Amino acid sequence: MSHNTFGHLFRLTTWGESHGPCIGCVVDGCPPGIEITAEEIQVFLDKRRPGQSRYTTQRKEPDAVRIVSGVFEDEATGKPVTTGAPISLIIENVDQRSKDYSQIKDTFRPGHADFTYIEKYGLRDYRGGGRSSARETAMRVAAGAIARKVVPGLNVRAALVQMGPHEINRDNWDWAEVDNNPFFSPDHESVQGWASYLDGIRKQGSSCGAIVEVVAEGVPAGLGAPVYGKLDQDIASGLMSINAVKGVEIGAGMDAAALTGEENADEIRIGEDGKPLFLSNNAGGILGGISSGQPVVARFAVKPTSSILTPRKTIDAKGNETEISTKGRHDPCVGIRAVPIGEAMVALAIADHYLRHRAQTGKG
């Protein structure tokens, strides 16, 4: 299985299967001298961790991260810093129940990767989906915690803006609210409605989709390359690589098609500080593949979890028509736990471009 690496100068390679003994990653190309501790990384992992509310899978993974290389005590400060060597991170898998998956051993879950894995590789680790499991994304979140520290002043945050058909009211947007509810919603008024909706979905043995919005502030102007290394292209690629993501947009995204040129143009003035001031941000902070200095805004749609209790028509590995209903512990709305993963992928893409920009221009 090839292509387990994301990025060019700041490179993340992940390894491990959902039901193997552990998962891990190697972060290569991280500059030396960046202060980092396992505790700092853990903060982000804890946001993605399963079993934290009744709205996510009850799999109990502590997701305790261990740094096993690339970090050493700085003599001057006594604090652990990156050395410039590859940083390896490991998380033990402690709550596998492989028997939960015996029913999918020879039967393909519609909407999951079972059929395509067999078509491609001729065999698959069916326990928890192996590499197709979103367990892998824990390592993206861990690496994202390091990526955030590579770009001075970078602040990447995300929120759930739609659950199933239910959108937030953007007038209520409050970043402080995001960590106060189990859905990462920035709109406190959405929470009760989403809770009842998701309870209903779960009781029906069903699942629902969601939309996540990621906002990166403190992105310096100039990151990205204009042709095949666009910042928006690489952010979209990183977000689209997350399990269950079926749509990505930057700035006004799909809605830009319905705007006129006048409405869509982000007009520019000179602000009171003498610097360029954009009057809107339909571009999502990226023009010509290069960051403008405005916040970078990306949105992604996560499909409903395919492993559901409701029986679905499918076929087995021998080509017989059958039905499957997936038992085991699954999130009814995987979009919730995708919030910290989206943040991580945007941070990884920006950190990579920050180093690429510095390498080419000497700036940064």
Ligand X SMILES: Cc1cc2nc3c(=O)[nH]c(=O)nc-3n(C[C@H](O)[C@H](O)[C@H](O)COP(=O)(O)O)c2cc1C
User: Among 305, 314, 340, 350, which residue interacts with ligand X (rule: CB under 6 A)?
Assistant: 305
124 vs 353 by CB, closer to ligand X: 124
Given a contact cutoff of 8 angstroms between Cβ atoms, the answer to whether 136 and 20 are in contact is: no
Judged by CB under 6 A, does residue 356 bind ligand X?
no
CA distance 349 to 6: 8
Residues between 201 and 240 with contacts to ligand X, criterion CB under 6 A: none
* Amino acid at position 356, single letter: R
Q: Write down the least CB distance from residue 265 to ligand X, Å.
A: 35
Size of residue set near ligand X by CB under 6 A: 21
Q: Which of 160, 307, 347, 352 binds ligand X (CB under 6 A)?
A: 307
Which stretch in 80-88, 128-136, 139-147, 221-229 sits in contact with ligand X by CB under 6 A? Answer: 128-136
Point out which span in 119-127, 163-171, 219-227, 305-313 binds ligand X (CB under 6 A). 305-313
Binding status of residue 112 toward ligand X by CB under 6 A = yes
Among 57, 88, 292, 314, binds ligand X (CB under 6 A): 57
List the x/- string, 249-278, binding to ligand X by CB under 6 A.
------------------------------
- Give the burial class of 258: count Cβ atoms within 10 A of its Cβ; 0-12 exposed, 13-18 middle, 19 or more buried: exposed
Helix (H, G, I), strand (E, B) or coil at 26: strand
Q: Which three-class secondary structure state does DSSP give residue 213?
A: strand
What is the DSSP code string of 286-334? EETTEE-SSPEEEEEEEPPPS--SS-EEEEBTTS-EEEE---S---S-T
Which residues touch 274 (CB under 8 Å, ≥6 apart)? none
Q: Please tell me whether residue 244 binds ligand X under the rule CB under 6 A.
A: yes
Asked if 337 interacts with ligand X (CB under 6 A), we say yes
Q: Which residue has the tokens 């990653």?
A: 25
The torsion angle over the Cα atoms of residues 335, 338, 339 and 343, rounded to 10 degrees, is -150
Strands 290-291 and 22-28: unpaired
- Distance separating alpha carbons of residues 108 and 317, to the nearest angstrom: 7
Return the range that interacts with ligand X (CB under 6 A); candidates 12-20, 74-82, 288-296, 303-311: 303-311
Q: CB 110 → ligand X: shortest distance, Å?
A: 10
- With contacts defined by CB under 6 A, name the span among 26-34, 165-173, 242-250, 263-271 that binds ligand X: 242-250
For 254-285, the DSSP string reads GGGGGS-HHHHS--EEE-TTSSEEES--TTTT
* CA-wise closest residue to 48 among 363, 311, 331: 331
Q: Strands 245-250 and 290-291, how do they pair?
A: unpaired
Nearer to ligand X, 28 or 63 (CB): 63
Q: Does 107 bind ligand X (CB under 6 A)?
A: no
> Does residue 330 bind ligand X (CB under 6 A)?
yes
Integer angstrom CA distances of residue 283 from 109, 153, 266, 290, 296: 38, 21, 7, 11, 9
Measured from the CB atom, the residue of 90 and 334 that comes closer to ligand X is: 334
- Using CB under 6 A as the binding rule, the residues of this chain from 167 to 206 that contact ligand X are none
Q: Is 242 in the site for ligand X (CB under 6 A)?
A: yes
Among 26, 154, 334, 348, binds ligand X (CB under 6 A): 334
Q: Which is nearer to ligand X, 9 or 245 (CB)?
A: 245
Q: What's the rounded Cα separation, in Å, for the pair 20 and 213?
A: 32
Contacting residue, 27, 91, 134, 212, with ligand X by CB under 6 A: 134
Hey, is 172 helix, strand or coil?
A: helix
306: contact with ligand X by CB under 6 A = yes
Q: Which range touches ligand X (CB under 6 A), out of 216-224, 225-233, 281-289, 330-338?
A: 330-338
Residues in contact with ligand X by the rule CB under 6 A = 57, 112-113, 129, 132-134, 137, 242-244, 303, 305-307, 330-331, 334, 337-338, 341
